[in-house]
Amino acid sequence: MTELNISNLKMKSDKYIFKKKLSLRRKSKRRLITESAFLFILSLLLVYINYLIPNKNLLLQNLPNSFNKSFALIIELFSNLYEISLVIFIFVTYSTAFLLILGSFYRLFRVTKKKSRPMVYK
């Protein structure tokens, strides 16, 4: 029996898998300045969008009440889903039972009405 050739001898150990993918170079000053300017402009845009929202204080005061209403609706939804799934289960079981009863009567009918044929032996 020939011996198995192991081709994994050249593979490096697992702790060096991602070492070459990391960039070890530092970013240039120009790139750091452009990134910081971009971040600053983005933050100003977000502050301006928040400024445009009307009635912020009223929205923040009504937040706990909104959460309570949401949780009550979620609980009601799940209770309704339970009832709906029970009704679907009832319909599926009745239809399955009806089909099984029809199948059993059909087989009984075939057995009783079966014509006997003479068996031909060759």
pLDDT at 40: 94
Alpha-carbon distance of 73 to 67, in angstroms, equals 10
Over the chain (122 residues), what is each successive 10-residue block's mean pLDDT? 56 60 76 93 95 91 94 92 93 96 91 72 69
Alpha-carbon distance of 69 to 80, in angstroms, equals 16
Specify the pTM. Answer: 0.42
Average pLDDT of the chain is 84
Number of domains in the chain: 1
Q: Is residue 20 part of a domain?
A: no
Residue 114: other Cβ atoms inside 10 A: 8
Residue 75 lies in domain: 27-53+62-112
Q: Is residue 75 part of a domain?
A: yes
pLDDT in tens, 4-23: 555 555 555 566 666 666 56
pLDDT at 91: 96
Q: Is residue 18 part of a domain?
A: no
Q: Is residue 37 part of a domain?
A: yes
